[in-house]
Amino acid sequence: MKKINILAIETSCDDTSIAVVKCSGGVNAPKFEVLSNIVSSQIKIHRPFGGVVPNLAKREHIKNLPKILKLTAKNFDIKKIDYIAVTVGPGLEPALWTGITFAQELAKKTNKPLMGVNHMKGHLYSNWLSPQKNFKNIFPSISAVVSGGHTMILLMQSSTKWKKLGETIDDAAGEAFDKVARMLELPYPGGPEIEKSAMLGNPNAIKFPRPLLGSLKDFQKNYNFSFSGLKTSVLYYLRDHPNASKNDVAASFQQAVIDVLTQKTLSAAKQYKAKSAMLSGGVSANKTLREIMRRAIENSGKKFFAPSFEFNTDNAAMIAAAAYFDLLQKNPPLKFEADSNITI
């Protein structure tokens, strides 16, 4: 299949992003050249509220999108685009709509075809964006997609065929990081703050529960997650130990999440005789998680992949990669409507 340039737009949460990615190689040898990937973070705007305020996110996306498009057009001739792709869900509906409307207007102006993309597929394919990786002979693969809104484990038979083995039954891992950070009076977003604090603490200081790990021993293996109980244990611990070291709490909480994610991914990889395992989503930015999971997977003789740091948290380049796979498979088009509940 010939080379195609995809301009992608991502506004599902609090990052406004536009990317242009040159895609080639087809399903068996996909190649992505990220020509531009501009991400404008709104952290400073939402920080005083301790989380993302959907209508503020919408306002900022509306402000940022034309500016980012202008910057993109400086580096790339927009006329050379073959497709425009936009995230339609899951995410915050007011935020999603800004991207969808902007993409529709751009498609009309440029007379280019427009496609809707699933944000979670974007995270899944973010692993393919780094050119130096060797993706030969990696299937079956276990893919852990761990973000602020979702936590799931997929069994991938190929780059385009997968089955969901499990997902969170309550809070997502990133959400738990954000909520525990708030309990520790750390600013939003909590994940990077907990990671910083955890570096100064002892991960074995407090034995927090490892939710649903026992279920791995069951005959029918259970790859679901539950982080709400862990979050509540941290709350009770802080209530009962007002003088506890915050760094120890952060490190012990982080270790509990890492143990659950790593052991479930490893166990699934063994059960399904996977040749590799992958990690993606915002939580995959956590260096301790990446290293512990990498060691566990590589020690079991399998390959391990995690996206380059610029592609862990929300970005439009990953949306372009997912759009390319959708095009290759001739997947039925998604509606141009914000859909906060769409899944993969």
Q: Which of 195, 227, 253, 265 touches ligand KG4 by CB under 6 A?
A: 195
Q: What is the side-by-side strand order in the sheet with 15-24?
A: 31-41, 15-24, 4-10, 83-89, 114-118
Distances (CA, A) of 135 to 28, 158, 272, 296: 9, 11, 18, 19
Q: Which of 16, 118, 252, 313 touches ligand KG4 by CB under 6 A?
A: 313
Is residue 314 a contact residue for ligand KG4 (CB under 6 A)? yes
Please identify, using beta-carbon distances, which residue of 13 and 268 lies nearer to ligand KG4: 13
CA 151, 155, 158, 162: dihedral to nearest 10 degrees?
A: -70
Is residue 277 a contact residue for ligand KG4 (CB under 6 A)? no
CA 23, 24, 28, 29: dihedral to nearest 10 degrees?
A: -100
CB of 57 to ligand KG4, least distance (A): 12
Please identify, using beta-carbon distances, which residue of 42 and 233 lies nearer to ligand KG4: 42
Q: Which of 118, 143, 147, 265 touches Zn ion by CB under 5 A?
A: 147
Is residue 151 a contact residue for ligand KG4 (CB under 6 A)? no
233 contact, one of ligand KG4, Zn ion, none, CB 5-8 Å limit per kind: none
User: Site map for ligand KG4, 2-41, x if CB under 6 A?
Assistant: -----------x----------------------------
- The answer to whether the CB of 4 falls within 8 A of the CB of 82 is yes
- The answer to whether the CB of 72 falls within 8 A of the CB of 38 is yes
CB of 288 to ligand KG4, least distance (A): 8
Q: What is the CA radius of gyration of the chain?
A: 20
Distances (CA, A) of 43 to 18, 119, 123, 189, 249: 17, 20, 20, 7, 24
Please identify, using beta-carbon distances, which residue of 147 and 168 lies nearer to Zn ion: 147
The H or E element containing residue 232 is helix 228-240
Is residue 72 a contact residue for ligand KG4 (CB under 6 A)? no
Per-residue burial over 251-283, b = 16 or more CB atoms within 10 Å of its CB, e = otherwise: bbbbbbbbbbbbebbbbbbeebebebbbbbbbb
* Sign of the four-CA dihedral 307, 289, 216, 270: positive
Amino acid (1-letter code) at residue 150: H
Of residues 159-198, which lie at the interface with Zn ion (CB under 5 A)? Answer: none
User: Which range touches ligand KG4 (CB under 6 A), out of 109-117, 141-149, 298-306, 322-330?
Assistant: 141-149
Which residue shows structure tokens 């940022």? 64
Q: Which of 314, 315, 321, 324 touches Zn ion by CB under 5 A?
A: 314
Is residue 262 a contact residue for ligand KG4 (CB under 6 A)? no
Is residue 192 a contact residue for ligand KG4 (CB under 6 A)? yes
- The answer to whether the CB of 303 falls within 8 A of the CB of 85 is no
Give the N- to C-terminal CA distance of the chain in Å, as an integer: 25
Please identify, using beta-carbon distances, which residue of 47 and 270 lies nearer to ligand KG4: 47
CB of 82 to ligand KG4, least distance (A): 26
CB of 15 to ligand KG4, least distance (A): 7
Q: Which of 99, 116, 190, 201 touches ligand KG4 by CB under 6 A?
A: 190
Q: What share of the chain is helix, strand, coil (3-state, %, to 5)?
A: 45, 20, 35
283 contact, one of Zn ion, ligand KG4, none, CB 5-8 Å limit per kind: ligand KG4
Question: Residue 280: which of 175, 143, 171 has the closest Cα?
Answer: 143
Is residue 285 a contact residue for ligand KG4 (CB under 6 A)? yes
Which spans of this chain sit near ligand KG4 (rule: CB under 6 A)? 13, 147-149, 174-175, 177-178, 189-192, 195, 281-283, 285-286, 313-314
Which spans of this chain sit near Zn ion (rule: CB under 5 A)? 147, 314
